[in-house]
């Protein structure tokens, strides 16, 4: 099954969008996460993408559904309320930022 079919299924099911609207929104979400050539990627199969590209596709799917809040995980400890560095995944104006001190504090090496 092509990546586009898999990704748009989420929007068609949960947001009750039509196929064309879901495809347009997903292509835009792939652009937001900086996946190169999003139209081409939609026609490819998952095994044809690198692991990083697949991760970006999953993130794009989550963003395309317009969640009310950002997902949290145990790695949230690495994020602090300073404004020194912002993650490319957080929109401007959010308070969650990455600090090198927090990364060192939680590193395994």
- pLDDT score at 84: 44
- pLDDT score at 81: 44
Give backbone dihedrals phi and psi of 20, rounded to 5 degrees, phi first.
Answer: -65, -45
- In angstroms, the CA 88 to CA 78 distance is 15
Q: Which helix (H) or strand (E) holds 30?
A: helix 19-32
Ordered by start, the domain boundaries in the chain are 3-64, 74-105
Say whether pLDDT at 12 is over 70.
yes
Euclidean distance between the first and the last CA atom of the chain, given in angstroms as a whole number: 40
Percentage of the chain exceeding pLDDT 90: 53
Say whether pLDDT at 54 is over 60.
yes
Taking only the tens place, the pLDDT of each residue in 89-105 is: 455 555 544 455 555 55
Distances (CA, A) of 59 to 15, 67, 70: 17, 12, 11
pTM of the model: 0.61
Say whether pLDDT at 56 is over 90.
yes
């Amino acid at each position: 099954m092509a990546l586009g079919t898999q990704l748009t299924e989420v929007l068609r099911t949960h947001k009750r969008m039509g196929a064309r609207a879901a495809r347009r929104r997903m292509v835009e979400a792939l652009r937001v996460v900086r996946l190169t050539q999003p139209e081409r990627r939609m026609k490819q199969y998952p095994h044809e993408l690198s692991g990083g590209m697949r991760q970006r596709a999953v993130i794009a799917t989550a963003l395309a559904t317009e969640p009310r809040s950002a997902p949290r995980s145990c790695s949230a400890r690495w994020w602090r309320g300073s404004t020194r560095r912002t993650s490319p995944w957080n929109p401007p104006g959010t308070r969650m930022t990455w600090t090198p001190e927090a990364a060192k504090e939680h590193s395994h090496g």
